[in-house]
Amino acid sequence: MNAFDKLTEHAKTLSHFNHLAAICGWDQAAMMPSGGNDARSEAMATLSVHLHQLQNQPQLADWFNDAENQSLSAQQQASLREMKRQWQQATVLPESLVKTQSLAGAKCEHAWRSQRSQNDWIGFEKNWAEVVKLSQEEAQIRAEVNGCSRYDAMLDLYEPGVTTAQLDALFSDVKTWLPEMIDQAIDKQAKQPIIEASGQFPATAQKALGQQVMQLLQFDFNHGRLDESTHPFCGGVPTDVRITTRYNEQEFTQSLMGIVHETGHARYEQGLPKLLAGLPAGEARSMGLHESQSLFFEMQLGRSRAFVSHLSHMAAQQFPQHDSKLFELDNLHRLYTKVEKGFIRVDADELTYPAHVILRFEIERDLINGQISHRDVPELWHQKMQQYLGLSTAGNYQNGCMQDIHWTDGTFGYFPSYTLGAMYAAQFMAAMRQTVDVDNVVTSGDLTPIFSWLEEKIWRHGSTLTTDELVRHASGEALNAKHFKRHLSERYLVK
């Protein structure tokens, strides 16, 4: 067996353990009784250490050196590149730090579930201080190896090749036009009548509606399922994708669009190249591209009039006890494109969402780079919410800096992926419209041409192409934020 084949076999072994970790993580969030958390956390920490040991086996360096001298196909070269990238990311951290981070993150995340609802910043801060300290240690180690800033080193885990300087430029531009566009959209919509969802919308009916929409989006239920959790997410593996949402029986719109969003993640996973299953090259390229697929489903497709016309019929059938005027196309579309300045990122509309992301990016950038303390976060959050959305979070931790799950386990560097994803999604839709009659396809109810385009341009490539190569392949150009601005302007100011 040559070196490349040995590396391939080793990567598939890692994939099998990551498969089990993913399903255990889903169970911990969606099904596990709270009393099982300590034992599960210990087991997951042990698994993390085992994975770390596998990734740090001394013979791997020799195998990579030997494989780089082999005659490989273009696909094999890409596979080798991705295996080496993941190996280099894993080998820089000491085993003790990996285990300590896993335990601290699990403890903080589990306590956060109740602390958030109690607005208990003091209790949360005690656990989070350790998570931040360990994340800064990780960032310092990675930065020294990569020769970059701490935050750039963390960004590279989620967005290979993206730098703080690039994000500063992108987001600085967005801040020049976004606040005014938000105010203009709100003023315009104030003149439009709207019927708000009210009354009871049973969770069972909401779930049935969600599954109906997932079928429209061609989700493969033989290789995935829908469940409920505190924080909506998509997990599992391509052959067993687990998505979750949360239900509010006082309204149905948020959970439904959350399902559409997570189905976008899931379809990307289900569409990844089968021949590269278990290999890094067969995985999603970056979190920004992953978010581009969920936001393509939710924003580009899900909130279009053509798609909402399907939702109006389905919702009317699932909730016959409600006034049918609520579900009429014009009203439902206004509900799904309503712009409102709010506290909660996951409930934010498409137009205000980038403000939530930019706020988090600026805070975590300075936190990881050591320019601020974790104790500064509540006040900085309050200041930036006032600046970007005109809202106060003074003393309101549960709707402020404690609202997200990401920071509880040290996932720093992830938040920019959301707005990068929105930009990619707008660019992909602009490119798709050049060859696909998107509106008529959606109206027909058979969305196959849309998914065929995504499969050909994005899904089937996995990570065999770099992010920039993939974006250029799909759209004919590098990331161009003008498509995002144009999309928002056309949807919220022109139409």
* Strand duo 234-237 + 240-245: pairing: antiparallel
Taking alpha carbons only, the member of 300, 311, 327, 249 closest to residue 450 is 300
Long-range CB pairs of 214-223, under 8 A, 24+ apart, other chains included: 214/259, 214/263, 216/310, 216/445, 216/447, 217/260, 217/263, 217/264, 217/267, 217/297, 217/447, 218/267, 218/447, 218/448, 218/451, 219/263, 219/266, 219/267, 219/270, 220/270, 223/270
Q: How far is CA 439 from CA 33, 311, 421, 490, in A?
A: 45, 15, 22, 15
User: Which tokens belong to 299?
Assistant: 């924003």
Q: Is the dihedral of CA 278, 275, 262, 175 positive or negative?
A: positive
Cα separation, 455 vs 462, in Å, equals: 10
Does 379 participate in catalysis according to the annotation?
A: no
Sheet of 224-228: strands edge to edge? Answer: 224-228, 240-245, 234-237
Amino acid at 240: D
| Total residue length of the chain | 495
Active-site residue, from 82, 130, 262, 283? 262
Give catalytic residues, as residue numbers: 262
